[in-house]
Structure 1
Amino acid sequence: MHIHILGICGTFMGGVAALAREAGHRVTGCDAGVYPPMSDQLRALGIELIEGFGAEQMALQPDVWVIGNVVSRARLADGSPKFPLMEAILDAGAPYTSGPQWLAENVLQGRHVLAVAGTHGKTTTTSMLAWVLDACGQQPGFLVGGVPMNFGVSARLGEGKAFVIEADEYDTAFFDKRSKFVHYRPRTAVLNNLEFDHADIFDDLKAIERQFHHLVRTVPASGRVVVNGLEESLTRVLHQGCWSEVCSFGSAVSDFTAEGEPHDFAVQRNGRPVGRVQWALSGVHNQLNALAAIAAAEHLGVPPAEAAAALGRFQNVRRRMELRGSVARAGGDITVYDDFAHHPTAIRTTLDGLARRLGTPRGRILAVFEPRSNTMKLGTMKSQLPWSLENADLAFCHSGGLDWDAAEALAPMGARAAVAANIDTLVQQVVQAARGGDHIVCMSNGGFGGIHERLLKALKT
């Protein structure tokens, strides 16, 4: 089969492309601004990439067109279609489907699907779960919205019955406004946490809770719903109806709990010690992610002690507090990290985890971030930014492209916050403020203009 993927360079659609290629299909694709690292990974797999969404691609005549949710029926100012290829596909009556639907029909059918959903931690927890199953001999397939360092790839078919997938609540495609995860029909569903997000497509938290309940409805009676016992929103989801075994984690009365610091803790099952996790990760959020992965792996027969031991060898995911480099200075090295945090809660948990790991006394934490997600661009959560940055000694915000006043939003932080409309000015601000022993955390769900390397270069001069 020949499939042509529109929007192939996104992490999810790129993963679909890699799985299709591994399954023996001919895969081609297109995107606007075909960009690395996904473009490099796809070309290494022998996948032809085309720049743009021109209608001339109809000449490829694939068996099916797979449509990413970057594609819409939008029109440009002159009235012409923004995605002429999509218009040509519709005019021709050619066969098309969404990425999640293609995945469900061609990869997930007949597998034990373990789907990891939640506002935060999906990528990390999916990676943890895939690693635990792999380390315990189950050879799972997986599709992750990032690159787990234990595997070096974001997706593989796997030889075992298990398939672990990051289950996103964002909509499927312009013609299918359901959340992606309703297509996956998991036997094991992880509900990691749930907050308001994606303000561009959801009106309120209740609307997202409804989508999460749609996921719960698809889990069979013999399945398991692994749920964060600390989240009132998830309690409301389950109160709408649940027909499967529920296994909770995190709260004092949950099935799985942790005793100890996030980097070294005992895992307890119904109050009884069943394993210990000792690793390089930090933050209570990662401790909770670990409990979720252990509870999900147990559903496939992995003893918690073995799962905990495997997590001791977990190497995290690229762009999750990834060390990008350090520069020697009097008073200690200045260290630069890259993190994907793009929501106020994610920013706060990232900085809290670093502060806990460093202990006291410690060097300063400098938070450098850009509000780049659709929700943050809309300004829906701007009032939460000072709260999210409480653990930062200094904060630097890239305000370029925002329709709201970042300086006003950060005013409660006083002199601890600075704003810059372009990356060059932002780099100058950070370099002028930095001193020996500082920890600089760059947070964005995009490339952030290569700020990590630019900071390291500027700090060396």
Structure 2
Amino acid sequence: MQKRYHLIAIGGSVMHNVALDLADLGNEITGSDDEIYEPSKSRLLKKGLLPDKIGWDSDRIDDSIDAIILGKHARNDNPELLKAQSSGIPIYSFPEFVASKSKATKRVCISGSHGKTSTTAMIMHVLKYHDYDFDYLVGANLDGFDKMVKLSDSDILVVEGDEYPSSCLDMRAKMLHYRPNIAVITGIAWDHVNIYKTYEDYKNIFRDFLNGLQKDAICFFDQTDSDLNKMMINEVFPPKRQSYNSFETNKKGEIIYNGQAFPISIFGNHNLKNLKAAYHVCQSLGIENHAFFEAIANFKGAAKRLELIFESERLTVYKDFAHAPSKCEATVNAVKGKYQNKNLTAILELHTFSSLDKSFITQYAETMSNADKAFVYFDPNALKMKQMPDLDPEFVAKSFKHPNIEAIDNSKRLKEVLESIKTDDTEVLLVMSSGSLGGFDLTTFF
């Protein structure tokens, strides 16, 4: 039976993909937002789902709507939300909606402070390679998938579940909705300091995740994460638990497993750990060893995850979504490990609430140590939009404890740096950003 859904904050990365998928299923979709950026705007327009005007309008809400799907961007004083509440229309956050709609008996949820998207993408790649029918929700665009969300009546659901609150009405972490019987925790490193004021608060949300699992469920976890390992070994939780470490590789970068060598296209110890997590999940879904390694050989990675965007005889450029301290360190180490004898310049944009919080920035100490030269960029306008106090570039630079680092707070200087890299001694450039990087499109810059 087809239904009518209205999405408040339809322009979000996941939200607009939910809209696209529900429309593909034949449902009537409307939506609203106070700002819609690319690529959401073009994709919604192509499907005829772009709101006719930007902003909120309570007149959009009427009794013909079967349900409201509420994005995290919307606030609790939103006029459309208030009218929907007074009209008694069912209201769901998107993770709540996905969990309630799925009929899957095999539910996979990838959680953790880092590596969620990559691990989820690896699993999806293997399942698709072997023609499995499955539903999914992932936080990046992937080769071979035209959407980030697919909801049908499949018996397998694979989701990336993060620890951020679901909506203004539903402060539960998104990952708490999915109740998987196959779970992964990739690691725990304090993040989202605007929500979780202490590291213990942050760890507690993963305890809640584990306590929500059934006894017959299994959770795979990274044993090299000391805090996570202690929690999983010393504390009592309902599900079965199994640790993992990274795959071993030879000098060619091939995986060595059971005495055999298997080629892969990804690199970095963090990715080898993500791959081991994906391997265990796929085994739990019935995929045998040879089938897993056959499929993963041509996996290139998710968008903006160590994505190679330029390569010449003189310069190689990678872009990555890394923004938290643990992600930054793992990504820098991965690139330096691959190009040990080359001069590496790393640029990090501070864009998230946590990364712009003065009391949290010291967590980045020595995370870029393996870069020969480092730059940290932040946009003062991002601070104003988040209603946060100004940052002193000198303080930011000192916090990283790198001998050759510069903090930049204006796009003009950032452009000068990027231009200079075209001709200086940089041989490998790594740019890490979850923001707009001053509006520069790196794919056309080099």
TM-score normalised by the chain length of structure 1: 0.86
C-alpha displacement of 1:437: 5.3
**1:290 equivalent in alignment to 2:275:** yes
**1:404 equivalent in alignment to 2:374:** no
Aligned counterpart, 2:333: 352
Residue of structure 2 aligned with 1:24, choices 15, 23, 26: 26
Cα distance in structure 1, aligned partners of 2:323 and 2:54: 28
Aligned counterpart, 1:254: none
2:103–2:155 CA contact under 8 A, matched in 1: no
Aligned counterpart, 2:35: 33
Aligned counterpart, 1:67: 70
Paired amino acid for 1:344: P
For 1:352-391, list aligned pairs within 5 A. 352-360=333-341, 362=342, 364-391=343-370
2:369–2:402 CA contact under 8 A, matched in 1: no
- Partner deviation per Cα, 1:81-138 (whole Å, 9 max, x = no partner): 5x332233334443322111111111x2334111000100100100001111222332
1:115–1:189 CA contact under 8 A, matched in 2: yes
Aligned counterpart, 2:181: 187
C-alpha displacement of 1:197: 0.5
C-alpha displacement of 1:451: 1.9
C-alpha displacement of 1:405: 2.1
Cα distance in structure 2, aligned partners of 1:183 and 1:275: 40
C-alpha displacement of 1:386: 4.2
For 1:7-406, list aligned pairs within 5 A. 7-49=9-51, 50-58=53-61, 61-73=64-76, 83-106=78-101, 108-157=102-151, 160-238=154-232, 239-250=234-245, 258-260=248-250, 263-267=253-257, 273=258, 276-326=261-311, 332-360=313-341, 362=342, 364-401=343-380, 402=383, 403-406=390-393
Cα distance in structure 2, aligned partners of 1:275 and 1:12: 39
1:209–1:237 CA contact under 8 A, matched in 2: no
Cα distance in structure 1, aligned partners of 2:262 and 2:328: 24
Cα distance in structure 2, aligned partners of 1:310 and 1:367: 32
Q: Structure 1 pair 423/16, CA: closer, same or farther in 2 (3 Å)?
A: same
- Partner deviation per Cα, 1:155-202 (whole Å, 9 max, x = no partner): 223674211100111111112211111111111001111111110101
- Partner deviation per Cα, 1:8-43 (whole Å, 9 max, x = no partner): 222222332233223322222222321111232333
- Partner deviation per Cα, 1:298-335 (whole Å, 9 max, x = no partner): 11111133212211111211111222235x6xxx4333
Cα distance in structure 2, aligned partners of 1:261 and 1:164: 33
Q: Structure 1 pair 426/437, CA: closer, same or farther in 2 (3 Å)?
A: closer
Aligned counterpart, 2:386: none
Greater strand fraction, Structure 1 or Structure 2: 1
Cα distance in structure 1, aligned partners of 2:57 and 2:259: 57
SS across alignment from 1:355: helix
Cα distance in structure 1, aligned partners of 2:205 and 2:48: 37
Q: Structure 1 pair 223/405, CA: closer, same or farther in 2 (3 Å)?
A: same
Select between 287-296 and 390-399 the one with higher mean Cα deviation.
Answer: 390-399
Cα distance in structure 1, aligned partners of 2:440 and 2:229: 40
Residue of structure 2 aligned with 1:440, choices 423, 426, 429: 429
Cα distance in structure 2, aligned partners of 1:181 and 1:45: 29
2:104–2:156 CA contact under 8 A, matched in 1: no
Q: For the aligned residues, what is the CA RMSD?
A: 2.5
Q: Structure 1 pair 44/112, CA: closer, same or farther in 2 (3 Å)?
A: farther
Q: Structure 1 pair 366/288, CA: closer, same or farther in 2 (3 Å)?
A: same
Residue of structure 2 aligned with 1:421, choices 403, 409, 413: 409
Cα distance in structure 1, aligned partners of 2:402 and 2:134: 50
SS across alignment from 1:375: helix
C-alpha displacement of 1:343: 0.7
Cα distance in structure 2, aligned partners of 1:247 and 1:439: 37
- Partner deviation per Cα, 1:368-422 (whole Å, 9 max, x = no partner): 2211111112234312334111122222222322433232231365772223222
Which blocks of at least 5 consecutive residues in structure 1 are unaligned?
A: 74-80, 252-256, 268-272
1:141–1:163 CA contact under 8 A, matched in 2: yes
Aligned residues between the structures: 432
TM-score normalised by the chain length of structure 2: 0.89
Select between 214-223 and 169-178 the one with higher mean Cα deviation.
Answer: 214-223
Cα distance in structure 2, aligned partners of 1:229 and 1:158: 35
Cα distance in structure 1, aligned partners of 2:223 and 2:401: 33
Q: Structure 1 pair 438/315, CA: closer, same or farther in 2 (3 Å)?
A: same
Paired amino acid for 1:353: A
2:319–2:431 CA contact under 8 A, matched in 1: yes
SS across alignment from 1:214: helix
